[in-house]
Amino acid sequence: MKSVAVILARGGSKGIPQKNITPINNKPLLEYTITAAKQSNVNEVWVSTDCQNIKSVAIKLGVNVLDRPKKFATDSSKSEAALLHFSDKVSFDFLIFIQPTSPLILSHDINVGLDMMYNQKEKYDSVFSVYKEHWLPRWSKNKLPINWDTKKRPMRQDVDEVYVENGAFYITTKDALHKSHLRYSGNIGIVEMPFSRSFQIDTPDDLSLIKRLING
C-alpha cells in the first residue's frame, strides 16, 4: 500500500505575501512541513504549487513537485480541487494532505494517522488531526451567547470537551477521495495533537506567534 504526502502551497497569499516560503528562524515556512513529512513513514513527499519560487524551494529540499494549474490555485479554489488534480497525476493508495501553514506538525503525528489507516480492525477511510478544547463562553457578533444561557452559565468541567480541527493534516484513500470529492469521508478517525502545536499561520499576528514558539 503506497502512501504519498502532498503539501498544497500556492503562491497567491494576500495576507502575508509569499507566505509559504516566508523565513522563520532562517528557514522557509514550507521546510517545516516538508521535514516532518520526509521524516515520517510516507513513501513519497510532493508539493503541489502554481509558483516558481515555491517550486524551486521544494526541489532544493529534495521533494517531488507537481505543477498546479492556476484554476486550482485562486483565492476561491477549494483544496479538494487541487487534491483531485493531484490524484489524477500521481499513483497512491493513501493520501496525506499536509497544510504548509502548520509548521509545528511532527513526523510522529503523521505516523499515528498512517498507523490508524493501516489498522485492518478499524478500517478507517479517513483520519484528520485535532486538538481537544474545554468549554469556553462564546458570543456571536451580535453579542448573544452561543449555545448557553447567561442566567445558567455552566461550570467548565460540567460541559463535554470537543475536538477542533487544527488543519495540520488529513489522510484518506484514493477511492474515498474520488467517491466523495472530500478530504475526509466514510469511517473517520481522529489524531489528537496538543493545542500548543495546533497553531496555523494565516495572519501576520499568527506569524509573529509561531516565530516566538519556534525560537523558544
Determine if the pTM surpasses 0.75: yes
| Amino acid making up residue 199 | F
Q: Is 156 a catalytic residue?
A: no
Q: Per residue of the chain (216 residues), what is the pLDDT tens digit? A: 999 999 999 987 777 888 999 999 899 999 999 999 999 999 999 999 999 999 999 999 999 999 999 898 888 889 999 999 999 999 999 999 999 999 999 999 999 999 999 987 889 999 999 999 998 899 999 999 998 999 889 888 888 899 999 999 999 999 999 999 999 999 999 999 999 999 999 899 999 999 888 876
Dist. CA 53–CA 74, nearest whole Å: 17
Cα–Cα nearest to 80, from 115, 48, 117: 48
CATH-assigned architecture of domain 3-129+165-190+202-215: Alpha-Beta Complex (3.90)
Give me the catalytic one of 138, 153, 156, 212: 153
- Provide the angle, in degrees to the nearest 10, between the axes of the packed helices 107-118 and 29-38: 40
Cα–Cα nearest to 65, from 45, 85, 80, 42: 45
End-to-end CA distance of the chain: 39
